[in-house]
Amino acid sequence: MSKPRPNRYTTEPFSMPLRWRRKKPMFSLTYDRAKSALFLVAMLGLMSGLGFFAADRPDAATLAWRTGVVPVLIALVVEIIRSLWRGEVGLDIVAALSMSAALVFGETLAASVVSVMYSGGTFLESFAEGRAKREMSALLSRVPGTATRHANGTLEDVELDEIEPGNLLLIHQGAVVPADGYIDSEHAILDKSALTGESMPVQLGRGEEALSGSTNAGEAFDLHVRHRATDSTYAGIVRLVEAAQASKAPMSRLADRYSMLFLAVTIALATAAWWFTGDPVRAVAVLVVATPCPLILAVPVALVAGLSRAAHFGVLIKGAKPLEALAQIGTLVLDKTGTLTDGRPQIVSTEVHNGMSDDEVLYFAAALEQASKHPMAQAIVTAARRKGVMLPVPDHVIERPGEGISGTVSGRLVTVGGVAFVNQQVGATAVASRIMNVGTVVVALAVDNKIAGYITMADALRTGTAELISNLRRLGIGRIVLATGDRRAVAENITSGIGLDAVRSELTPDQKVLLVVAERKNGPVMMVGDGVNDAPALAAADIGVAMGARGAAASAEAADIVLLVDHLDRLLPGIEIAKRSRRIAMESVVAGIGMSVVGMMAAALGFITPVQGAIIQEMIDVAVILNSMRALGIKPQIGQENAA
């Protein structure tokens, strides 16, 4: 077993190891218990009062009902004072008025029913929100505690903070991959459902990348670690999830828009009923029916459910405000590199010379490029590993950064790099016979001072991009613009024929910000990017979307939404879920308030007593909350026809 070392997490956004952060905060637990206790007190007061009333002991019944109401009313008044201190006027005032008025005018049974209704509603809201957050909580609970590492021919269990790039880990069957890396076995079967929502496991070959947070659904395999656990995909996701859960999301934003109006209408109607009839009980009945649980409870339940469903599909939305804004986006601004394209160069074609084969060109180039950290070099190595090529360790390596590298592979002198660099090294004047397309790069290879071949590489457009653009338009996005710092010829060549409305090229970060601001004339703007240079534009947009938890920390921090994997098509379920969640929330609000207004009018006219009004309002509450919980079962349709 390796010696314990200082905890390196102290230099990361976390202040303690991941495995220590699974426990639920004590305040949240205490708060939930307080809600449960208030509900039990209110229910006990109501039921015992009814028992005393049935036993013909009205005085004892009245005392029991008052005893059940007072704690709930005190807690409600404290919450109202806190809200007013923060400058917020909430609809809890109506609930407090209804209970207070009922107690003052002797309608203790109605007050007891209202207290049960209100405390039960907040308890149900807490339960519903807890259920809605299960997808995010599931992400946090999956953090592995240790990993199994190869060490001098043996295996050892190590803590996550001891994993280093270059380590070889053994991933047991059913284990969660603790760090990003490359498959170092013939094959591996990974379940990525917790990261991407994909229902079927995927099979990966040697050299292919495995993301931390995936589950080994097949036989045990070896993993060549690429990043420390703290820098890996899953650690980034956990940071984002915890930030989203800790953020103060304006869950009652829809309710706040109408709270003052509803409060004014309620008080005016109650006052008018008392004034014109001289009967204060009618005013009490109006206040009881008006208790606005549809607005207080239905909106947060629907929106939190939407956040949960989006997380299930690999879309982390940082609160209810971005979810609501996402449902109303009209213009989309896209970065090119790493967004519309994969962001990593890929081999497009190979040209061979002097009797070499394609496989030999790849073998010699990849073997030498193992010693380089250049993106082109890493892409060539990855391509060779995916084909199962066994790469020897190069010797006598000399690299000229940005130009090329030379060394010995299997006893032969090999040079790889730009055409000019390789020609200079071998004293050749030959050039690639194929015409280089816009946006491509040619890597030359020489073996034993002879040109052996050329590898053409490009950052290709992601598969299915044209269909994605079409589906985005089906979801109501009317204008889609490309914003890139790349040359215009490259941008236009790559995006030709996919249906963009405009291409803006050679942009600096501040020019991207200006573009986002200018596009606002067409409606709310969403910006999607993945790099540090995209962070200002992401912050300036109405909705900023960062590509992948492995992207730049600056872009993920500035963004309102993070796609947990580098697949732009994750926008489709995210947008659809946002639209449907908001629609469900609005349905609950309109239906609930509509029925409450009808009940208030009936109470003002004397057709409903305070007790009847409380019971009617309870039925309305249950109906709208159950309707809001439909958001938990949203199943996106657009873009999912061919999903696994």
* Interatomic CA distance for residues 364 and 390, integer angstroms: 11
Q: Residue 188 class from Cβ within 10 Å (0-12 exposed, 13-18 middle, 19+ buried)?
A: buried
> What is the arrangement of strands in the sheet containing 221-225, beginning at the earlier edge strand?
154-159, 146-151, 168-171, 221-225, 181-183, 209-210
Q: DSSP strand E in 56-172: where?
A: 146-151, 154-159, 168-171
Instruction: Of 83, 121, 100, give the one whose Cα is nearest residue 626.
Output: 121
Q: Examine the residue annotation and report whether 335 is marked as an active-site residue of this protein.
A: yes
Among 638, 544, 637, 630, residue whose Cα is nearest residue 582: 630
CB 564 within 8 A of CB 548: yes
Residue in 161, 191, 335, 486 annotated catalytic: 335
Q: Which residues contact 534 (CB under 8 A, 6 or more apart)?
A: 335, 509, 512, 527, 546, 552, 555
Distance CA 275, CA 261 (A): 21
- Name which of 379, 363, 383, 425 is nearest 400 in CA terms: 425
For 617-621, the CB contacts below 8 A with 24+ separation are 617/114, 617/117, 617/288, 617/289, 617/290, 617/291, 617/293, 618/113, 618/116, 618/117, 620/293, 620/294, 620/592, 620/595, 620/596, 621/117, 621/121, 621/293, 621/294, 621/297, 621/592
Question: Which residue matches tokens 């009313």?
Answer: 73
Phi and psi, residue 529, nearest 5°: -155, 175
SS3 634: coil
Distance CA 326, CA 322 (A): 6
Q: How far apart are CA 208 and CA 608, in angstroms?
A: 69
Structure token pair of residue 365:
């180039």
Token readout for 562 is 């993070």
- CA dihedral over 613, 619, 620, 622, signed as positive or negative: positive
Question: How far apart (Å, rounded) are the C-alpha atoms in residues 118 and 120?
Answer: 5
CB 264 within 8 A of CB 305: no
Q: Residue 10 contacts by C-beta under 8 Å, 6 or more apart in sequence?
A: none
Tell me the longest C-alpha to C-alpha distance in the chain.
Answer: 112
In this structure, the strands spanning 479-483 and 450-458 are: unpaired
Please, are residues 346 and 383 in contact by the beta-carbon 8 Å criterion? Answer: yes
Q: Please enumerate in sequence order all residues whose Cβ is within 8 A of that of 317, keeping only pairs 6 or more positions apart, or say none.
A: 244, 306, 307, 310, 311, 323, 326, 560, 561, 574, 578
Closest CA to 482 of 565, 493, 328, 347: 493
Q: Which residues are catalytic?
A: 335
